[in-house]
Structure 1
């Protein structure tokens, strides 16, 4: 198994719909790196299973393509935001690891 880790910093944003989901959008450079790694390996709806590390918290989730954009988005679960004291519009450094 190959592990590829990509680090990026992004500002937390809130989806303006029901549920108030919080996300990070990967930078264009990080998104291009992801795309080059997973060519032809993506799951349903272009979701890519990953593990994430922010601060002292590590969890498994998926990133997916942002609508009408070459970038990927990473959902931030409420319990992670609470543990790491993450707020909307805050800049956050994250490490994502893709298992191939």
Structure 2
């Protein structure tokens, strides 16, 4: 459990684990990574559909707390994501409705890893640019 300014962050067996492999140079962390299982869901837009996996809320809170300096447009975070043996760089985006970060899963990854809506996938997300 991590405790920072009245906030507690826990490893939760049903969601996964996270770690800050901390090597501090000032306030900079070398690595911030999260592993979890999440259900794949579909958001249908006017022109295209988007496939997402939602990061658990406790991990999203943890990431948001430790990455305020690294947030980009729309408070997104640049990440390296991994599902199965497939890795790619993307951004995760905060969702007010879900109170968590959303990981978009592109078609090449869905095809390579057999990703289907409604199915659960194990994900590893490493925040970049810290």
Q: Per the shorter chain, which TM-score range?
A: over 0.9
Question: Aligned in 2, Cα 1:40/1:70: closer, same or farther, shift over 3 Å?
Answer: farther
Summarize deviations over 1:35-75 as a string: whole Å, max 9, x none: 12202321111110000011000000000111334211000
2:65 aligned residue (14, 17, 36):
36
Whole-angstrom CA distance in 2 between matches of 1:38 and 1:20: 29
Q: Which runs of 5+ in 2 are unaligned?
A: 1-28
Segment of structure 1 superposing worse, 60-69 or 82-91? 60-69
Q: Relative contact order (alpha carbons < 8 A, sep ≥ 6): 1 or 2 greater?
A: 1
Number of corresponding residues? 100
- Point out 4+ residue stretches in structure 1 off by more than 4 angstroms: none
RMSD across aligned positions (CA): 1.3
Larger Rg: 2
Alignment partner of 1:77 is 2:109:
no
Scaled by the length of structure 1, what TM-score is found? 0.92
The answer for unaligned runs of 5 or more in structure 1 is: none
TM-score w.r.t. length of structure 2: 0.72
Measured in 1, the distance between the counterparts of 2:113 and 2:82 equals 11
